[in-house]
Amino acid sequence: MSTQGGGAELQTKSIASLPTAMTAAAFMGIAWYLAFELNVRILLTFNRRGLYFWSCVLCSSGIIIHVLSICLTNFQIWNHYSASVVIEVTWLTYVGSQSLVLYSRLHLVVSRWAGYRWVLPMIAGNIVLVGGTSFFVALISMYPTMAKYRDLNTAMMRIDKVQVATFFTVETILSLLYIKETHHFLSVTAVCHDSTNSRRVLLHLIWVNIFIISLDIAVLGLCYSGFFFLQGYFKAAVYAVKLRAEFSILNSLRSVVEVNSSRGRGSHPSDGQNSETRRSGNMWALQKLRSRRDNAHQRVGSDDHQCIKMEREVIVRHEPLSPETSADLDRVSSVNSTSFLKR
């Protein structure tokens, strides 16, 4: 294909028109800008360890190399088979690590982690089975000696649509888990705590995940509409936008949880919090309950009783209470209930 304008000639291998090429360039610019910015932020901000750090680095770096490889291939600058290998490797890297970014911060909002142990096997199975299958079929179909087998290329296109739908399903499940657990967390803490900043961050988290789902729907629609060329650039741009949004809100969420932990809240074991800190958290919660008991005559009984029940749920979100602490909670709850009945 050739497009002439002002004496200049643009020749590409796969682009059908100059507007299509310009659209692809716009998506490439968005992906590069966000990915480079995130790499700088991540490397300057975080300690270089942990699942969250490495998932973010792999995702942003994969986007940068993937888009560059596609561009060089489409404009016939890099025609060797190794270009196809790099494209497929970087694709699987940034798509797979995107799910791990969400997983690595899920424990911050999940009330009972034991009920969500299936999430990581789901992500790993999707990457290995679906992503791996698409990866190897694509490499085989693009091998120079395999170009004559049209059925293999057709199979690759069908498998590509299946993997897009499967990754969409997995990432939508993760986003829905965030929405569900964040809504639950808001309902639990609404009566007992008045933290405008915490509620703002949690509501922001819900809206960000709704936005992420809408972006995934756009990728799915573009894939099934047949725009195979634009799909590579658009998907990279979408994943860069998703990663940037998640990076911002998940860091804010972590800051909120750290503030609450400094006041004595329990946390997920992966945060490295020792048993002494968790015991201090239980004692802080009990002091709050005793304070409510001592000032019960200044409060509405039904709200106080509901607050006792919800406070217990907040305390045991990630760490079971000791028998002594649980018994103390029962005594505090009993005193407040009796106080309510006497009014």
Q: Is residue 153 included in any domain, yes or no?
A: yes
Chosen domain end from 229, 262, 295: 262
- Under 8 Å between Cβ of 214 and 5: no
Report the domain count for the chain.
2
Q: How many CB atoms lie within 10 A of CB 250?
A: 21
Please tell me the least confidently modeled range out of 26-40, 148-162, 168-182, 288-302.
Answer: 288-302
Domain that holds residue 326: 269-342
Chosen domain end from 231, 262, 293: 262
Same domain, 80 and 182: yes
- Under 8 Å between Cβ of 146 and 152: yes
Q: Is residue 2 included in any domain, yes or no?
A: no
Rounded CA separation 69/238 (Å): 17
Q: Is residue 79 included in any domain, yes or no?
A: yes
Q: What is the pTM of this model?
A: 0.71
Q: Is residue 5 included in any domain, yes or no?
A: no
Rounded CA separation 141/128 (Å): 19
How does pLDDT run across 209-265, given as a tens digit for each residue?
Answer: 899 999 999 999 988 887 777 888 999 999 999 999 988 888 887 777 666 655 544
Same domain, 175 and 317: no
Same domain, 180 and 313: no
Same domain, 216 and 154: yes
CATH code of residue 116: 1.20.1070
Nearest Cα to Cα of residue 231 among 134, 157, 135: 157
Same domain, 322 and 257: no
How does pLDDT run across 17-64, given as a tens digit for each residue?
Answer: 778 888 888 999 999 999 999 999 888 887 778 898 999 999 999 999
3-state secondary structure of 3: strand
Same domain, 277 and 234: no
CA angle 282-287-292, nearest 5°? 125
